[in-house]
């Protein structure tokens, strides 16, 4: 009963999927796109070039880390890897979006803006994913071409010389707050990982915690956060660093006090861009119908856009392509919040009071999205 993870060590979303398979205790082998079998079987089945892809023991070919986690959580009840209590479940879904979407531009910035300082490492990473069994020189040549392609994405992510300081300065706050949290708690919500932990691994492992420049920064500024990235790739759920902590989520649907400081940063830093993304989506959705592919030109894309957005961010005007995937992921957290009633709703409202989250959770998404045939569509 062995799964196959089609991924790569340097792939952002492969980090999320790999960590989940490890913590779920599912046996797997990891294979790279350089394997000829990927081009012959996996690529035609998925319909576009993307990793991670998971192949089940029964031969199912699944794409999108979130969809895969949903399916495997439904199939395997143990170990529990997301809380069932309402406030914690909403916070978990929120951090899934934060790590998977909000931090992606910063992760790409630290990889490509500092390319010259980590060129050999990146050449090795992209080379092994692209071509198998050739000389080191051939691998490096192939890697160089791919690296130029991926680094060209920076402008669409809002990364320009004039925005670098605005991106990096608030990240120092995140490093400090996350380091404080993981000194006291092994995972975001207590003694076992949740959906939010896996989402955060997307950006914080392969890019921010593994590429030489940002990994060195994390080790120096936030060693407890760096240790969490290691813990998330270990099969055991308990960690000896926290004697007597236990392996449950924090009791009574509570949110750790140290995580509230991180939530304040979520709302401070993600709200402006998310509001712009939602406005762009709403304008596009008003002119489209159920089943339409969510893309500015109707094409199948891994990371679709619906045109340009602009918004104020830490003293600069951020200009980038809109990110409907971010809207889709936030919608999951917002749906959890809207479903709360009674005491849970009151406690969640009080949490938003303390952390400044009301503006974000008051944003209106006019239409729903779903995934069909490995792309986002209007539901």
Confidence of residue 133 (pLDDT cuts 50, 70, 90): confident
Judge whether 209 and 19 are in contact, CB under 8 Å. Answer: no
Residue 206 lies in a domain: yes
Distance CA 294, CA 375 (A): 8
Token reading at 75: 């199939």
In a 10 Å sphere around its CB, with 0-12 CB exposed, 13-18 middle and 19+ buried, how is residue 264 labelled? middle
The pLDDT of residue 313 is 98
Domain co-membership, 264 together with 303: yes
The pLDDT of residue 141 is 86
Distance CA 156, CA 322 (A): 9
- Largest pairwise CA distance in the chain: 64
In tens, the pLDDT along 309-335 reads 999 999 999 999 999 999 999 999 999
Residue 81 lies in a domain: no
Domain co-membership, 213 together with 92: yes
In tens, the pLDDT along 257-277 reads 999 999 999 999 999 999 999
The arithmetic mean of pLDDT across residues 46-57, rounded, is 94
Domain co-membership, 31 together with 47: yes
Whether pLDDT at 202 is above 90:
yes
Residue 80 lies in a domain: no
Domain co-membership, 211 together with 288: yes
Residue 30 lies in a domain: yes
Domain co-membership, 93 together with 37: no
Number of domains in the chain: 3
Can you give the residue range of the structural domain that contains 42? 3-75
Domain co-membership, 136 together with 46: no
What is the chain's Cα-based Rg? 20
Residue 239 lies in a domain: yes
Domain co-membership, 192 together with 283: yes
In tens, the pLDDT along 87-125 reads 999 999 999 999 999 999 999 999 999 999 999 999 999
In tens, the pLDDT along 205-239 reads 999 999 999 999 999 999 999 999 999 999 999 99
Confidence of residue 197 (pLDDT cuts 50, 70, 90): very high
The arithmetic mean of pLDDT across residues 14-35, rounded, is 97
Domain with residue 33: its CATH number is 3.40.30.10
Distance CA 151, CA 132 (A): 22
Is 307 in a helix, a strand, or coil? coil
CA 111 to chain centre: 16
Residue 41 lies in a domain: yes
pTM: 0.97
Residue 372 lies in a domain: yes
Domain co-membership, 147 together with 283: no
Is 369 in a helix, a strand, or coil? strand
β-pairing verdict for 28-31 and 3-6 = parallel
Domain co-membership, 265 together with 199: yes
Domain co-membership, 275 together with 321: yes
The pLDDT of residue 302 is 86
User: Could you give the count of Cα atoms lying within 13 Å of 162 in the half-sphere of its Cβ?
Assistant: 8
Domain co-membership, 139 together with 237: no
Domain co-membership, 367 together with 280: yes
């Amino acid at each position: 009963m062995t799964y196959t993870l089609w991924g790569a060590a340097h792939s952002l979303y492969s980090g999320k999927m790999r960590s989940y398979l490890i913590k779920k205790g599912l046996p797997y082998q990891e294979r790279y796109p350089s394997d000829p079998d990927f081009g012959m079987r996996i690529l035609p089945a998925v319909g576009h070039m993307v990793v991670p892809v998971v192949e089940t023991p029964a031969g199912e070919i699944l794409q999108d880390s979130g969809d895969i986690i949903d399916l495997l959580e439904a199939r395997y009840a143990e170990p529990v890897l997301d809380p069932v209590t309402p406030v914690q479940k909403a916070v978990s879904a929120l951090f899934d979006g934060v790590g998977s979407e909000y931090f992606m531009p910063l992760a790409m910035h630290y990889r490509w803006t500092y390319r010259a300082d980590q060129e050999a490492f990146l050449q090795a990473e992209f080379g092994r994913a692209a071509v198998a069994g050739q000389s080191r020189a051939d691998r490096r040549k192939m890697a160089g071409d791919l690296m130029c392609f991926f680094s060209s994405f920076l402008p669409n992510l809002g990364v320009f010389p004039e925005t670098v300081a605005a991106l990096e300065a608030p990240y120092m706050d995140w490093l400090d707050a996350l380091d404080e949290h993981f000194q006291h708690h092994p995972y975001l919500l207590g003694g076992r990982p949740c959906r939010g932990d896996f989402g955060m691994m997307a950006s914080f492992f392969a890019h921010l915690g593994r590429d030489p420049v940002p990994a060195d920064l994390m080790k120096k500024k936030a060693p407890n956060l760096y240790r969490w990235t290691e813990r998330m790739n270990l099969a055991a759920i308990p960690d000896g660093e926290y004697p007597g902590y236990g392996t449950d989520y924090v009791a009574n649907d509570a949110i750790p006090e140290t995580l509230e400081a991180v939530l304040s940063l979520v709302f401070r830093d993600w709200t402006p861009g998310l509001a712009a993304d939602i406005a762009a989506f709403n304008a596009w959705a008003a002119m489209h119908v159920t089943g339409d592919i969510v893309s500015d030109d109707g094409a199948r894309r891994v990371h679709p856009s619906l045109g340009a957005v602009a918004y104020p961010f830490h003293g600069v005007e951020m200009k980038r392509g809109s990110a409907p995937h971010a809207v889709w992921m936030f919608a999951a957290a917002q749906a959890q919040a809207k479903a709360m009633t009674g005491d849970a709703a009151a406690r969640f409202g009080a949490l938003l009071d303390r952390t400044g989250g009301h503006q974000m959770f008051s944003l209106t998404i006019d239409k729903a999205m779903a995934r069909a045939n490995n792309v986002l569509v209007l539901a």
